[in-house]
Amino acid sequence: MAISLTEEDFVVKVFDYKNDKEWSFRGDRPAIIDFYANWCGPCKMLSPIFEKLSKKYENSIDFYKVDTDKEQDISSAIGVQSLPTILFIPVDGKPKVSVGFLQEDAFENIIKDFFGF
């Protein structure tokens, strides 16, 4: 199940954007973050897919959600401009960004290709 992140959670679990200039992931396994808003139609369509995949990969990938209306500082620091924005984060290396709705098969293909699962 996807976990909602507050600013405090994000700084501890993902990236301390307040103090670090260069990307430095704080997690110990890959993560996927869904940046969404409750009023966003494509975000609502993505939500059940995101939850389904979070259960399928619960033992290997951390799934997080960030409400961009509530956590504007995180969205700004990451550079979120359109919704939904999905951030695929490897343990080492730079994250991959996907903007817009993803069908389940396309979402899973990115997981397989990017993370090797």
Q: Which domain holds residue 106?
A: 3-115
Q: For residue 57, give the CATH number of its domain.
A: 3.40.30.10
pTM confidence score: 0.95
For the stretch 24-65, pLDDT in tens is 999 999 999 999 999 999 999 999 999 999 999 999 999 999
Q: What's the domain count of the chain?
A: 1
From the candidates 11, 32, 40, 87, give the one annotated as an active-site residue. 40
77 burial via Cβ count (<10 Å: 0-12, 13-18, 19+): middle
Which pLDDT belongs to residue 29? 97
Check if 113 is active-site. no
Check if 57 is active-site. no
Residue 67 φ then ψ, to 5°: -80, 110
From the candidates 43, 61, 83, 87, give the one annotated as an active-site residue. 43
Whether the per-residue pLDDT at 21 is higher than 90: the answer is: no
Collect all residues with Cβ–Cβ distance below 8 Å to 85 and sequence separation of at least 6.
Answer: 34, 35, 78, 97, 98, 99
